[in-house]
Structures are given as C-alpha cells and as structure tokens.
Structure 1
Amino acid sequence: MDKSIFNPREQEDNISSKIIVGLERISEVFKILLWDKAKLVGLSPIQIQILIFVAFHKQELCNVSHLAKEFNITKPTISDAIKVMDKKGIISKDFSSVDNRSYSIRLTKAGSKIVAETANFADPLKARLTGIEPANLESLFDSLGKLIYQLNQNGILTVQRTCYGCKFYKKTETTDFCNMLNKPLLNSDIRLDCPEFIERAGS
C-alpha cells in the first residue's frame, strides 16, 4: 500500500508517479469543463462527446460498435445515449450500410448547432499551454504520443489513430516517415487522430 502512486511519499522520489498524478489532475479539469458545457445545453457529457466526435470524423467510425470502443463504454450505454439524442432531434440514424440492422449517426441541423456551442469546451485548457516554451511543448507531445500508442499495444486503450500504429508510418535510423505523404515527419508532424489512419497489420 505504501507503494501506491497516490501516496505523496511514494511520489517524492518517483517522477513517473508524479506524472501519473498530474495526468489525473488534468483529466479532472477535462471532466469539469465538459460538464459545464453539458449542463448549458441539457445533455450528458457522453452525449456531448458523441456529437463532437460525429462532427469531425468520417461516417464509418460513427456507429455504435466503434463509439463504444472510442469512449471505452458498453454498446448499450452508447445506444441509450443515441436514443435520447434521436428523440431530441439532434442526430439521425443512417441505415444505408450493407447490413441494414446497423446504422451510423449523422448530425441534424440542431445537432450541428449544439456542436458549435460546445466543441470549444477544452479551450481554457489549451490556453494554459501558451505560456510553455515551444521546445517543451514538443517534448511533451512526443511523450504523450508514444504513451498513447504503448497503452493501445498493451490493450489498455482500445482505440488509437496515431502515426505509430499506421500502415503508412515507417521508422528509419534518422527519422519518422509517412509513405502516404511521402515525406519525413518532424515530432510536431506526428498525429494523434489522423483522418487517413489505417491500422498496420499486426499492430
């Protein structure tokens, strides 16, 4: 028990524990900002997250199965959220896929309006990053990208769309390289949510 990450004495001499506690604090800020926006429009946080995801991602990702993986919650929970949003007229169901039992989600005009009001919920967090030196920001981003990929490889994070797991990504001795863009990638070029992401076989 003394070795718990959340024991302040354990944190004193362990930088990894300090980082994890820091990430937990930031996740709390994320939840607070999301809740504040959700209350303003009369929706739950997960409903806001679904709407924002659908607004900015391709249609084949906007179905119950993928959304459950994306947000690490059960399909029934996603289905319940969609049912409420459908009744409110902020999403519509598209049954045009080959399997007519499944459907994807589209925003209605009312849903797009809500996204316009809520998609900036994390801006206060982004604003705090402006005071950090660019080199430090780039180092932080590099570490986060690699951590996200490792968590996915370990089965803890179910979905990732970062370059490291993409079929177009190649690591050379001197640089990272994207075969789709046909160019080397700087650390700042690495994407965490790439629209062109295709999972690498065996990744």
Structure 2
Amino acid sequence: MSKSVFNPEDQIGDVASKIVAGLERIAEVFKVLLWDKAKANGLSPLQIQLLIFIAYHKTALCNVSHLAKEFNVTKPTVSDAIKALMKKELIAKDFSSADSRSYSVLLTEKGKEIVGITANFANPIKEQVLLLPSEEQEALFKTLSQLIYKLNRNGILTVQRTCYGCKFYEKDNVDYCRLLEKELYAKDIRLDCPEFEVNQTNLLS
C-alpha cells in the first residue's frame, strides 16, 4: 500500500503530512457546522453558502458561471440551487447587466434575514482561534494566505482573491499595495479583497 498523509504511521516525523491531515479535520468541522445550520433552516449547505456569498460580494460575482467556479461545482448544480432559493423567495434575478443574456442574483429581504441567522455558522471555529496568542494568529494567517495563493497558482484552487495574486501587489523587500499606497503587514493581507484584480503577469508565468 502506498504512503498516505492519512496513515498515522506515515505521519511520524512528517510535519507536512500532519498539517494536511489537520486541515482535513478542520474541513470536516466546517461541513458539520454548515450541515447543522442548513438542517435548522430547511436549506442545503450549498444554498447557505450561495446566500452568504451573495450577501457580501459585488453583483458582478453573483452569476451562475462565477458561483460555479467559486464553489467548485457545475453550472447546472448552481442553477438548481438558484431555482430552489428563488422558489423560497430568498433571492431574485437581476438583469441589469450589459449582457441581456445573463443575469446576476440579489438577496430579497427574506434572504437577508436568513443570512442574518446563518452567516455565523463558523463562529465556533473563530472562538477557538481567538484563544491563540495574537502572534500565533498572525503566523497562522500568513501561512494560510500563502498556501491559498500557491494552490491557486498550481490550478488546484480555482478562485482566489488574495493580495499575492493581485495586480496592485508588489514585493520589494516588503509587501506593498499600489492601490492603497501602503506597506502591507502580514495581518493586512486580504484573502478576499473587494478591489482584487488578477495579475495577468502571474497567469503567463
């Protein structure tokens, strides 16, 4: 049998495998918390994820094509989820795009109410993170943000909006944002920046 990061014997002395196994455990916690919130509100986990995303992101990102990439599912899967949410009167279509063939989705007032009681599903994890010393929180965040960027560069993670992949980001001894015109400390790096614009140079390299 080949080596596996999930084999306790193979994890001995292999910190990278232990980290991956640990991340998988945390991913399971997210799924459990999301399922609990979904069942309590008569929704599917994906439907809750879509509602939360729509609530906090600009309209240009709230269309079927982008949502499919965002959550690594097929367009038909997103379309079905949108139909279900519309039937529940939680979202509405917005045809204000210049392309009359496409549409984005917006929250209804009822949808906003649901987001108000579901968007906190990951709070139990945050509560534990807050127990870590601030320097450990910053070190953990720095590692995660770099890992997310590298997974995106390798094509494993489809969508990311971190500073490291943005056209406004510069690295010259220090991290720097040309849009904000300021040095970025580790805690300033964003994972999901509203002003993010992809660095085309990175795509070609």
Distance 1:98 1:161 in 2: 24
> How many angstroms does 1:2 deviate by?
4.1
Distance 1:2 1:60 in 2: 45
Quote the RMSD (CA, aligned, Å). Answer: 0.8
Which residue of structure 1 lines up, in the alignment, with residue 80 of structure 2? 80
Gaps of 5+ in 2: none
Matched, 1:71 2:71: yes
Which residue of structure 1 lines up, in the alignment, with residue 166 of structure 2? 166
Distance 1:113 1:136 in 2: 35
Gaps of 5+ in 1: none
User: Any residues of structure 2 matched to 1:154-193 within 5 Å, and which?
Assistant: 154-173=154-173, 175-193=174-192
> How many angstroms does 1:202 deviate by?
2.9
Which residue of structure 1 lines up, in the alignment, with residue 200 of structure 2? 201
Identity %: 62
Aligned pairs, how many? 202
Greater shift, 177-186 or 128-137, is seen at 128-137
Distance 2:160 2:147 in 1: 11
Any idea what the Cα deviations from partners look like across 1:157-189, whole Å, max 9, x if unmatched? 00000000001100012x100001101000000
Match of 2:51, SS state, is helix
Which residue of structure 1 lines up, in the alignment, with residue 34 of structure 2? 34
> Residues 178 and 185 of structure 1 are in contact (CA less than 8 Å); yes or no, is this contact kept in structure 2?
yes
Distance 2:201 2:158 in 1: 15
TM-score by length of 1: 0.98
Match of 2:200, SS state, is coil
> How many angstroms does 1:71 deviate by?
0.3
Which residue of structure 1 lines up, in the alignment, with residue 107 of structure 2? 107
Distance 2:53 2:146 in 1: 22
